[in-house]
Structure 1
Amino acid sequence: MTSSAAKRGLTADGLIAKANAEQLAGVIADKLRDRCKSMGLQPWRQWVSAELAKMSPLLRSMVRAALAAKARGSR
């Protein structure tokens, strides 16, 4: 039986890299959320937008997904 990762051609190194990238995105999202405590919502959104604009498109999408997941989990 072949795993879905193997079917997609992901190697063990690829899976580790993906997990590391997701972990990094989670850490970044946590740091962005921590800044929220000292800012109002609108300044925080502007600041997060500016920070996300500095990131690569892939990292930006991963951080956005982590922020959304954390927002859903905190409700």
Structure 2
Amino acid sequence: MTSSAARRGLTADGLIAKANAEQLAGVIADKMRARCKPMGIQPWRKWVSAELSRMSPLLRSMVRAALEARAGK
């Protein structure tokens, strides 16, 4: 029996790269949240939107997911 990762053709290197990217997105999200604590909600949204617009589409989606996950904590 093969794992779902193997069926999708992901190699060990690919899985490591994905995990590293997710970890990086988490670090970015944490730093964004820390910087934004003293801001009000409107300046925070504007700043985060500007920062996300500078990222690649993949990193942007990963950081957005990390921000949403951390918002629930």
User: In structure 2, what is the equivalent of residue 16 of structure 1?
Assistant: 16
Pairs aligned (count)? 73
SS at match of 2:10: coil
Give CA deviations for 1:16-42 in whole Å, capped at 9, x if unaligned. Answer: 000000000000000010012121110
CA displacement at 1:69 relative to structure 2: 0.5
The 8 Å contact of residues 25 and 66 in structure 1, kept in 2 or not, is answered as: yes
Please give the TM-score of this superposition, normalised by the length of structure 2: 0.97
RMSD across aligned C-alpha pairs, in angstroms?
A: 0.6
- After the TM superposition, list the runs of 4 or more consecutive aligned residues in structure 1 that deviate by more than 4 angstroms: none
CA displacement at 1:53 relative to structure 2: 0.3
Unpaired runs of at least 5, structure 2: none
Unpaired runs of at least 5, structure 1: none
